[in-house]
A and B are shown apart, each in its own frame.
Chain A
């Protein structure tokens, strides 16, 4: 599909050139002054660079959105709010480390994408969740009693990620 899209402009240019040569002959076809050549070249190069930049920006945004979607899945699936025991706590600690590293990775791009407020909010909700777990890491009864608060932090993080994805794709 991508090859076809690239090939179409070349085919159109070849057809137009062929028609022009057929109608005016070789001599007239190549009879062009340097100013015209420069104008045409500048326009082509400028358009090409602009398109490239736009494509790169799209790819960058797409990759950030994919990472945000992965983060959202991890948060929804792995940040537990019940069933605390020694084994689940060990797994949760590993998950919290992975999620925290992911949130930290967004710090470097949050200003570029104008999502600093959203990332800071997600980080803050995550830190609150982590603080509750960390401060009562051996007190499973307390953690079970905090179940509603914990699930609330998870819900807030998840909905903010959705909001962030929408914002990334909203034209400025």
Chain B
């Protein structure tokens, strides 16, 4: 099992969608953390756990760019078969991410 805890591995205050828009964007998170860890999990045939708790809050644009962007990057919208999202702070985010992933390749 590979774990990404955004608060510890990235930031407590995630930003917007793109790198050019400001610090700690969804694009930066995808490029530097989510995508490499996802590929590592696939290679090792392990589950990737993404823990969203402990941050100040997530912009929809950050999450869409991170998870929807990963689908577009890999041209695969089955990524959630290998990813488990943890969000006790805001349970609705799990539903949101599922919807971004479904819509990413449409």
Question: Chain A: residues with CB nearer than 8 A to chain B?
Answer: 90, 93-94, 96-97, 100-101, 104, 130-131, 133-139
Contact = CB atoms under 8 A, between A and B. Distances in A.
B100 to A, nearest CB: 12
B46 interface: no
Given A90-B13, A139-B21, A134 B59 contact: yes
A92 to B, nearest CB: 8
A137 B13 contact: no
A101 B88 CA distance: 10
A82 B94 CA distance: 30
B36 interface: no
Interface of B: 13, 15-17, 21-23, 56-62, 89-92
Given A90-B13, A139-B21, A97 B90 contact: yes
Nearest to B63: A134
How would you classify the secondary structure of chain B's contact residues: helix, strand, loop or mixed? Answer: loop
Contacts of B59: 93, 133-135, 137
A139 B61 CA distance: 13
B16 A101 contact: no
B21 A100 contact: no
B57 A96 contact: yes
A80 to B, nearest CB: 14
The residue in A97, A101, A137 that gathers the most chain B C-beta atoms within 10 A of its C-beta is A137
Given A97-B89, A101-B92, A104-B92, A134 B13 contact: no
Contacts of A104: 91-92
A158 to B, nearest CB: 21
B91 A137 contact: no
10 contacts: A90-B13, A100-B90, A101-B91, A104-B91, A131-B60, A133-B59, A136-B16, A137-B15, A138-B23, A139-B21
A138 B22 contact: yes
Given A96-B57, A97-B89, A101-B90, 4 more contacts: A93-B59, A135-B16, A137-B59, A138-B21
A93 B56 contact: yes
